[in-house]
């Protein structure tokens, strides 16, 4: 059986209930705050309009990412020779083989696409600071390239999946306390030591490395150009650019730490075999908070978004307070007459 047993969904010490509850709670807040970001991005001034479109688009992808995790609930377990994919939400827990495989492929597509978005953001940032001639069409081309890579890498998994995962059930579930042999959770299996999977691995992880290198290049170039031009900028423009710089940096960190880095560890097998199973915890918990962190960063860092939040939730309270104060003053004045 798989060791440690907390990775087996049907075992008595399984953590899949914690995985689901954490995903649902973080997901609910993520959907709320990312929806607010999309709403506020539509209300931005012309100076922030293009940035707002990119930020709003990022929040839309955050919502797609959150929904996929909450509906599918993929939990990958890596051993020396195999990947085991469990789907621990009620809809996919005992699903058919083909439905689970579709859920795994969909999750990989969303994860890789979501992880590549910061590179596109810094591409726009670099072009906007360099010559200010960047258009949404150019940004759309960059998104299309990322889309094609993410989709081709995800669909490739259909050829990697073992056609008869039932033959591994004894190795996965055998002897696990709590697993009923008559009804076991569906599992998708990938054998790592095939030529086809090794080629796929090079393609997928090579693409991730290229994304990361592009991200570093555009980030460094953006800061270089910003530092050269910062003294020539008006005060408001300088403050806006500084806020956008901080925002894009903070939005880059969670996808890399919680998605790209663990996936690279999975693919490269650089950790000892007995530690590989524990990396699934990072893939189970980290990505759940990444979209939420993304939305909160936008709402707290960018002044234009922060001001709109204050107008919506704080100014009505101030208006009521002012009306009450004026009413009291008027009443007091009439009493003195």
Q: Which domains does the chain have, with CATH numbers?
A: 5-301 (1.20.1070.10)
Residue-wise pLDDT tens digits, 43-86: 776 656 677 888 888 899 999 999 998 999 888 888 878 889 99
Residue-wise pLDDT tens digits, 117-169: 888 888 887 887 776 667 778 888 999 999 999 999 999 999 999 999 989 88
The tally of CA atoms less than 13 A away on the side-chain side of residue 132 is 3
Lowest mean pLDDT segment, chosen from 30-44, 152-166, 183-197, 276-290: 276-290
Residue-wise pLDDT tens digits, 232-264: 776 666 677 777 777 777 777 776 776 667 666
More confident of the two residues 154 and 291: 154
Q: If pLDDT is split at 50, 70 and 90, which confidence band does 183 have?
A: confident
pLDDT at 171: 86
Residue 194 has pLDDT above 90, yes or no: yes
Lowest mean pLDDT segment, chosen from 62-76, 96-110, 259-273, 321-335: 321-335
């Amino acid at each position: 059986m798989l060791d440690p047993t907390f990775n087996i969904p049907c075992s008595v010490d399984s953590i899949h209930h914690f995985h689901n509850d954490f995903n649902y709670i973080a997901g609910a807040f993520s959907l709320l705050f990312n929806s607010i970001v999309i709403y506020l991005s539509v209300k931005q001034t012309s100076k922030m309009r293009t940035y707002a479109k990119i930020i709003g688009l990022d929040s839309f992808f955050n919502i797609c990412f959150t929904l996929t995790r909450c509906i599918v609930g993929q939990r990958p377990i890596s051993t020396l020779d195999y990947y085991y994919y469990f789907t621990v939400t009620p809809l996919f827990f005992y699903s058919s083989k083909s439905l689970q495989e579709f859920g795994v492929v969909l999750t990989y597509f969303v994860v890789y696409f979501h992880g590549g978005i910061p590179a596109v953001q810094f591409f726009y940032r670099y072009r906007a600071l360099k010559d200010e001639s960047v258009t949404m069409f150019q940004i759309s081309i960059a998104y299309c390239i990322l889309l094609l890579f993410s989709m081709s890498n995800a669909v490739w998994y259909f050829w990697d999946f073992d056609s008869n995962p039932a033959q591994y059930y004894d190795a996965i579930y055998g002897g696990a306390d709590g697993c009923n042999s008559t009804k076991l959770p569906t599992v998708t299996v990938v054998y790592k030591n095939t030529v086809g999977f090794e080629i796929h691995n090079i393609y997928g992880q090579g693409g991730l490395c290229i994304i990361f290198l592009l991200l570093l290049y555009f980030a460094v170039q953006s800061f270089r150009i910003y530092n050269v031009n910062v003294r020539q900028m008006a005060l408001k423009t300088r403050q806006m650019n500084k806020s956008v710089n901080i925002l894009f940096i903070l939005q880059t960190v969670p996808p890399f730490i919680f998605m790209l880095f663990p996936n690279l560890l999975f693919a490269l097998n650089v950790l000892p075999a007995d530690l590989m199973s524990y990396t699934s915890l990072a893939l189970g918990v980290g990505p759940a908070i990444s979209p939420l962190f993304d939305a909160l960063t936008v709402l707290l860092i960018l002044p234009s978004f922060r001001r709109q939040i204050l107008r919506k939730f704080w100014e009505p309270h101030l208006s009521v307070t002012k009306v009450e104060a004026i009413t009291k003053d008027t009443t007091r004045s009439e009493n003195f007459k």
